[in-house]
Structure 1
């Protein structure tokens, strides 16, 4: 009993004091959850009273609100933890190996993914394990789900799973829970394009457009990375991806990565409340273990 009392004394913070009845006083509130200490000690408490201090907790002050411009979509694994990002990259490698083989010299998609992994600081050993694991792994099923989110924006959800029924039910549940639904026709608002990501420090959009024309790209879009650094997306035909990147590097434009993406040509304008709901939906979908990437056609209204 004495040992327990010593621990109790050691755990009392400085802003606690003892009441006349042996209960702990925190600020102006008396906590009577424990028996009186004086009874346990069989003697009056010897602690010196100290001034009380109230503790304030406000859930509103602890909450965070993301602006849509700072929300990173799952366009190649985005936001979350390092381990989850590597898991998504490994899934993408698995799809690439399944479609074009394990030799990056003859598989452009795999070569681009390996470079993307390196840009995300994925260890070389982990990349090799992912490629070898893709060769030995059981053949999973690749699916592309079409959906509509809150506010009417469209979604394409890439899935790799060994259980189609489970994946379908989970995605359908997440969509319904967050104001979305599965639908047909969403893919008609997207095109499969090659996208070269380049550093945009100090380069105006007009200058980038001139470089895009010279490199053979169709369009240039401004974006940001996870650290809010400006980036430029040079959009081109799938067959021209390698040539556009080589030309940009020859023109002195440092590139970050290159790969195939679903690019929308029919953006959906959303208000702030709709953007917040869309952000929550994208977050829960990206957390789904069977989901590789999620594409959307969202455009924020000014």
Structure 2
């Protein structure tokens, strides 16, 4: 689930051509919830939900561009993410096979605000717009949120290359990002709590940044694709952060929700 990525104060560093910001507080997922009670369910259940979401994303990609990833770049990116998260091959193949037979759904994105005023983008796939609309409104209302036009302006559409951190330090990651042509690098963790690095770049430079990192950079790239990346971070108080955690969990548990992005800043 794509939950999108918080920001904070940056350590700027000058280079001959550009200025790139290494922001150690742009940490997603686990890190920003480090001081919040862990409310997620058992890991197996969480993984099952994640695989279900990927199945929905495969369905959309196949409907739009066909079942052959060689001729469908969007599908190829999604399949790469599936493999990076160890989704069983049988499940991937079944999702592709069943996609063409599945009902055509409507995909769209809700703009909202959560507790403390943080921005939310909620991407859904549904075969019943009325049902989904009511469900999203209910989840927001009961968890301190509200639909809010304009929340999208808090985010930019960016290329994101996700790589294993391994023994690469943040300082080394900065050097790699500069050489690769990325705009930003962030430290995060994936579902198994492995340390990861996110290299943020323009949409047009996604392929070249990935190619450089895999080739000359010598690091293991897990996936790459387009994400909504917030440019306006918001630091929440402890009580607001706890409420935000509950809201995001409820949204991600909704069967019609594909991905949720937020602009919550990680705690230091």
Shared fold (TM-score, shorter chain, > 0.5): yes
Q: SS at the partner of 1:269?
A: coil
1:139 counterpart SS class:
coil
Matched, 1:281 2:247: yes
Q: CA deviation at 1:101?
A: 2.5
Q: How much does 1:151 deviate?
A: 0.5
Distance 2:32 2:158 in 1: 27
Q: What are the superposed Cα offsets for residues 245-285 of structure 1, whole Å, 9 maximum, x if unpaired?
A: 12101121111111221110011110111111000000010
Confirm or deny: 8 A CA contact 2:185 2:199 kept in the other structure.
yes
Which TM-score applies when normalising by structure 1? 0.72
Paired with 2:106 and 2:50, the residues of 1 have a C-alpha distance of 21
What are structure 2's unaligned runs of at least 5 residues? 1-30, 37-42
The partner residue of 1:240 within 186, 205, 213 is: 205
Q: Find the counterpart in structure 2 of residue 189 from structure 1.
A: 154
From 63, 67, 74, the counterpart of 1:98: 63
Distance 1:232 1:189, change over 3 A: same
* 1:270 alignment partner, SS class: coil
Match for residue 219 of structure 2? Answer: 253
Equivalent residue, structure 2, for 1:225 = 190
Q: Which of the two has higher C-alpha Rg?
A: 1
**Cα distance between partner residues in 1 of 2:192 and 2:35:** 9
Q: Which residue of 1 aligns with 2:13?
A: none
* CA distance in structure 2 between the partners assigned to 1:80 and 1:239 by the alignment: 36
Cα deviations by residue, 1:201-239 (Å, 9 ceiling, x for unpaired): 222222212211211211111111223322110011223
Q: Deviations over 1:161-204 (max 9, x none)?
A: 00000000000001000000001001111111111111112222
| Pairing of 1:98-137 with structure 2 (within 5 A) | 98-137=63-102
1:147 paired with 2:112, answer yes
1:264 matches 2:230? yes
Structure 1 residues 67 and 269: alpha-carbon distance in aligned structure 2, compared to 1, 3 A threshold: closer
Query: Is contact 1:144–1:156 with CA below 8 Å preserved after alignment?
Result: yes
| TM-score of the pair, normalised by structure 2 | 0.81
Partner of 1:293: 259
Any conservation in 1 of the 2:32–2:265 contact (CA below 8 Å)?
no
Tell me the equivalent position of 1:75: none
Give the deviation of 1:301 after TM superposition: 4.2
Conserved 8 A contact 2:70-2:76: yes
2:124 corresponding residue in structure 1: 159
Measured after TM superposition, the shift of residue 128 of structure 1 is 1.4
RMSD: 1.9
Select the structure with the greater relative contact order (CA < 8 A; seq sep ≥ 6).
2
The alpha-carbon distance between structure 1 residues 261 and 209, as it changes in their structure 2 partners (threshold 3 A), is: same
Q: Given the superposition, is the C-alpha separation of residues 79 and 150 from structure 1 closer, same or farther in structure 2, using an over 3 Å criterion?
A: farther
In the alignment of these two chains, the number of paired residues is 231
- Find the counterpart in structure 2 of residue 210 from structure 1: 175
Judge which range, 278-287 or 101-110, deviates more: 101-110
